[in-house]
Amino acid sequence: MNNSKENHTLTRTEIMTWLRERDEKRLNVLWANADSVRKLNVGDEVHLRGIIAFSNHCNRTCQYCGINALNKDLIRYAMTQDEIISAIREFESFEYHTVVLQSGEYPGIKRDWITELIKRIKSETNLAITLSLGERSESDLAEWKAVGADRYLLKFETSNEKLYESLHSENKGSWRKRIEMLQTLDKLGYEVGSGIMVGFPGQQFDDLINDLEMFKELNLDMIGIGPYIPHPATKLGKDFKPATVDAKQVPNNKLTTYKMIALTRLTCPLVNIPSTTSLAIIAVDGRAGGLTRGGNVVMPDLTPETFRRHYDIYPSYHREHFNTDNYHHELMASIRSMGRRISSDSGVSLKFKTRNIKISNNDN
Ligand code: SAH
């Protein structure tokens, strides 16, 4: 830990220069710095998390998301607890030590049902549990923590409050509520994951700099960054036009996503950073590219195929075939071929460990 570079800082001007940089040779310096800060702080281990998207029912109308309540063409599903447990059992042998239970935001998903599910997973497996169910009440979150939930994932999507509200127009004050929930999760003792999308309409480069500042302010343990992928069944996706070079609009491409991953590693060295599924979807080499530019986590979608095709948050024309033995062997082989190790533990964020040590020191 003596080598920790937790106080590595970059000025806004330096960050802006990197965000505008197009010269490959200079960018190689950014990638190399991010990779070495990753190695120095969180090491060579890659943590695998298996996502089970157990329901696509949703009450929200987020204008970027394909499972939003206004999409009437979508077949809605909810897996039973037995289906979830048997899906988890299928990937137990593949070096996964965390399951991520994800869904739309839906009041029909009852507190007691999730409580029971957490208890079952904890008694029947050794997996750490990450929840990602959208915004929920403090009492729900407290109960789930008490019965064994370890982490929660809730992206704030953008630090630009006005922009966020314009994409969630049904719900004034929703950005603030989301930020408050991240603080509540922290208070309740969860490992807190959040993050942003890169390149959705209206997002400007200054917003990305503010996003990086916000990652630090919120003291996050995990930070996920993925490109915005236009979905034709959404308001935002229908009218989408790719950004032109040098425009103010942030492009939703691989390069900008890589830059944000690398800059996040430099400014928040101890956090867990996934090489995201959306990045793997827009580019065949995206998964590996994210891991060599600061990433140390991979979160494959392990939802059984019959359900997964309806968990349509973004279009996934090149979607990888996650649930085959072959896929797992190839993923593990490609991680090892980068000189990285697959973690044999649940991969608690170093950020989480160190901030908890600090808290207990203060108490003494
Ligand atoms: N309902 C939960 C979890 C599911 S959505 C929640 O709101 O937190 C998970 C994430 O998918 C979102 O946070 C968003 O960052 C991402 N997402 C949704 N639509 C997307 C799109 N069109 N392109 C890229 N990412 C998208």
Q: Which tens digits make up the pLDDT trace of 184-200?
A: 999 999 999 999 999 99
Quick one: pLDDT at residue 31?
98
178 lines ligand 1 (CB under 6 A): no
Quick one: pLDDT at residue 307?
93
Average pLDDT over residues 138-150: 98
Tokens of 228: 């915005």
- CA 7 to ligand 1 centroid distance, Å: 30
Please state, in angstroms and rounded to a whole number, the distance separating the CA atoms of residues 103 and 109.
Answer: 9
- CA 68 to ligand 1 centroid distance, Å: 10
- CA 279 to ligand 1 centroid distance, Å: 13
Quick one: pLDDT at residue 320?
56
**Residue 236 Cα: closest atom of ligand 1:** 22
DSSP classification of residue 94: G
Quick one: pLDDT at residue 358?
65
What percentage of the chain carries pLDDT values higher than 90? 82
Ramachandran angles phi, psi of 17, nearest 5°: -60, -45
The dihedral built from the CA positions of residue 300, 89, 309 and 155, taken in this order, carries a sign that is negative
pLDDT higher for 154 or 7? 154
Average pLDDT of the chain is 92
181 lines ligand 1 (CB under 6 A): no
Range of weakest confidence among 44-58, 193-207, 233-247: 233-247
Helix (H) or strand (E) holding 32: helix 24-42
Quick one: pLDDT at residue 244?
85
Q: Which tens digits make up the pLDDT trace of 316-343?
A: 755 555 566 778 888 899 999 999 999 9
Quick one: pLDDT at residue 157?
98
**Atom 13 of ligand 1: nearest residue by CA position:** 155
**Atom 7 of ligand 1: nearest residue by CA position:** 134
Q: Which tens digits make up the pLDDT trace of 255-286?
A: 999 999 999 999 999 999 999 999 999 998 99
Quick one: pLDDT at residue 319?
56
pLDDT over 90 at 42, yes or no: yes
The dihedral built from the CA positions of residue 250, 319, 271 and 29, taken in this order, carries a sign that is negative
Domains of the chain, CATH where assigned: 12-363 (3.20.20.70)
Quick one: pLDDT at residue 359?
61
Quick one: pLDDT at residue 295?
98
Closest CA to 296 of 3, 7, 19, 35: 35
132 lines ligand 1 (CB under 6 A): yes
Range of weakest confidence among 9-13, 16-20, 168-172, 243-247: 168-172
3-state helix, strand, coil in the chain (%, to 5): 45, 15, 40
64 lines ligand 1 (CB under 6 A): yes
157 lines ligand 1 (CB under 6 A): yes
Other Cβ atoms closer than 10 A to 230: 20
Quick one: pLDDT at residue 131?
98
192 lines ligand 1 (CB under 6 A): no
pLDDT over 80 at 173, yes or no: no
pLDDT over 80 at 363, yes or no: no
